[in-house]
Amino acid sequence: MSGITEKRLGEIAVLFMMKKHEKEGITINPSTVKREVHNGAKDLKIDMVEMAESLKIIYQHIFEKTMEELNNFIDLQRKEDRASIS
């Protein structure tokens, strides 16, 4: 590998996948997630538990970011509502 460590490549890959899923969205239902774990592990030739743990981290990150955005939206709406009442 030229000029980049395997560790750094892994970090970049994780960041890329998080951004990709944030932009494209994710579907969270048991059958879709199970299929994604199975197919991902098979395609990448990795253990299914590793694939599941990786997706869990990515999904958690996206969920937390989404909740933060919703909280910001709610806070902004409440401020605007209070301002319009005054």
> pLDDT tens track of the chain, all 86 residues?
578 999 998 899 889 988 988 888 888 899 999 999 999 999 999 999 999 999 999 899 899 999 999 999 999 999 998 888 87
In a domain, 67, yes or no: yes
pTM of the model: 0.75
In a domain, 35, yes or no: yes
Contacting residues for 47 by C-beta, under 8 A, at least 6 apart: 41
Angle among Cα 42, 48, 53 to the nearest 5 degrees reads 130
| Overall number of domains in the chain | 1
CA distance 56 to 37: 10
Domain ranges, residue 29: 6-85
In a domain, 1, yes or no: no
